[in-house]
Amino acid sequence: MLSKNQIKLISSLQKKKFRDTHQLFVAEGDKLVMDLLSSGVKAAFLIYTKEWQNQFTLGDQYEIENKIESELSQIKKISSLKTPSQVVGVFRIPEHEIDKQEIENSLSIVLDDVQDPGNLGTIIRIADWFGIKHIFCSQNTVDLYNPKVIQASMGAIARIKLSYTSLDALFSEYQKPGFPVYGTFLEGETIYNSKLSNKGFIVMGNEGKGISDSIKEMVSHKLFIPNFPADQDTSESLNVSVATAIICSEFRRLEF
């Protein structure tokens, strides 16, 4: 059973300052928890019901420091979901090393102050689907380990290396001929007519403001996703995660 101190600790991880202090985050649900374990992410605690344990085998291949069988009533006390799962994992935040050569020879997504947790989680899933291994975020982008981001990512966080950094410094470090920086704009070139590279940065902006003025200056290739038909009034803009999916799909389509 969970102790009062464990409940207090796990509940505190809903807030970023405690996730940073303890270097822990919470994941809930069968698929999400098992994907993280299978990807080698270390679990400080795995809390589950007897019914869940009867369905899943926890072998020695998983790194789990503490296994705790508990009642669903106790799991509800630590869950952020309206309908709690029968399993909750408290994982250690992994450390990632950035391989500069890998970045210079592949596509990476750059997020400029994306605020919505669902958008970030979905973008992580999109990157995972399209084989993009690195995401760089501005310091003001929503926290990766926000519970809503974790749930929306559906386990893709285990396969994506995401870093928070100064975007000015990032672009300066990788600025060189033959390494393009793409961004989406209403005045950009139609993406379906653009010559796209298999390496570079794809910059996606804030939900309301788009790409910030200081970052616009760093973009070498402005792209536009056209509405259809062009002479008809449509929605003002696309959701940032939807736009990311369209752009990544177009980059990958050209590789077939």
Q: How far apart are CA 120 and CA 114, in angstroms?
A: 7
Residue 211: the pLDDT is 95
Pick the closest to residue 34 from 72, 85, 87, 79 (CA basis). Answer: 87
Residue 1: the pLDDT is 84
Residue 138: the pLDDT is 97
CA distances from 253 to 118, 135, 194, 211, 241 (A): 26, 20, 13, 25, 18
Which residues make up the CATH 3.30.1330.30 domain(s) of the chain? 4-92
CATH of domain 4-92: 3.30.1330.30
Q: How far apart are CA 65 and CA 42, in angstroms?
A: 8
Question: Would you write out the chain's pLDDT as a tens digit for each of its 256 residues?
Answer: 899 999 999 999 999 999 999 999 999 999 999 999 999 999 999 999 999 999 988 888 999 999 999 999 999 999 998 899 999 999 999 988 899 999 999 999 999 999 999 999 999 999 999 999 999 999 999 999 999 999 999 889 989 999 999 999 999 999 989 999 999 998 889 999 999 999 999 999 999 999 999 999 999 999 999 988 777 777 777 999 999 999 999 999 877 7
Which residues make up the CATH 3.40.1280.10 domain(s) of the chain? 100-253
Pick the closest to residue 157 from 246, 250, 25 (CA basis). Answer: 25
Q: Which CATH code of 3.40.50.10950, 1.10.640.10, 3.40.1280.10, 3.60.21.10 fits the domain covering 100-253?
A: 3.40.1280.10
CB atoms within 10 A of CB 188: 17
Q: How far apart are CA 25 and CA 100, in angstroms?
A: 27
> Is omega for the bond preceding 229 within 30 degrees of 0, making it cis?
yes
pLDDT tens digits, one per residue of 117-159: 999 999 999 999 999 999 999 999 999 999 999 999 988 998 9
Q: How far apart are CA 9 and CA 3, in angstroms?
A: 10
Residue 57: the pLDDT is 82
DSSP track, the chain = ---HHHHHHHHHTTSHHHHHHHTEEEEESHHHHHHHHHTTPPEEEEEE-HHHHHH----TTS-BS-EEE--HHHHHHH--SSS--SEEEEEEPPP----HHHHHTSEEEEESS---HHHHHHHHHHHHHTT--EEEE-TTSPPTTSHHHHHHHTTGGGT-EEEE--HHHHHHHH--TT--EEEEEEEEEEGGGS---SSEEEEE-BTTTBS-HHHHTT-SEEEE---SSTTS---S---HHHHHHHHHHHHHHTT-
Cα-flanking dihedrals φ and ψ of residue 123, to 5°?
A: -65, -35
Residue 164: the pLDDT is 97
